[in-house]
Structure 1
Amino acid sequence: LTQLHTGHIGLNAYLTCFGIVNTSHCPTCNEPETVNHFFFTCRRFGQQCDALRHALHAANHQQLSKRSLLGKSKNRTLLLDYVVATGRFPQYTPSPS
């Protein structure tokens, strides 16, 4: 969660700073792959984002922003479910039991 909050996570916008990837852009959307892009605008994860929005709405959290997602402890489970559902960070996916 700290990495998502600071942006120091394996998204292309951050990885280009270290020469790990050649482009800062999302391979699907061709926009900078930032945390905000990952959470809110990436077409690749539209279905997962819709599920996150629905879960937040059901939990009476109307505002969908990086700050509200990362700043409220009661959103952590929903946020982690989203991260796992996208498969974008396989290193953070729980291994099967």
Structure 2
Amino acid sequence: DGTYAETLKSHPEQHSRVEFDEFRAALAKLPPDQREALILVGASGFSYEEAAAICDCAVGTIKSRVNRARTRLSGLLSIEGTDDFGPDHATRAILSAGGRG
């Protein structure tokens, strides 16, 4: 009847939901070009070169946009270092200084 299975699943904590909502709100505050570059490189996994081709701009422009977006998001979310990141892989990828390219 599913009763035992129901006891095995874990429910997300309310705290995580609030953090995700805060992240989405902060992401929405970025200029569209920075948000696009950040999502392409940080969340979608495109290289800087691939993102530049998609956005029809120079690779250096994409790198600048991603850097500005990460800096702005860090400020909006009061992030001081990687220890402040949530456990979510996509969130870490977007905000970390890494990225292909």
TM-score range, shorter chain: 0.3 to 0.5
TM-score norm. by structure 2 comes to 0.35
TM-score norm. by structure 1 comes to 0.36
Query: Which of 1 and 2 has greater Rg?
Result: 2
Q: Which one has more relative contact order, counting CA pairs under 8 Å at least 6 apart?
A: 2
Higher helix share: 2
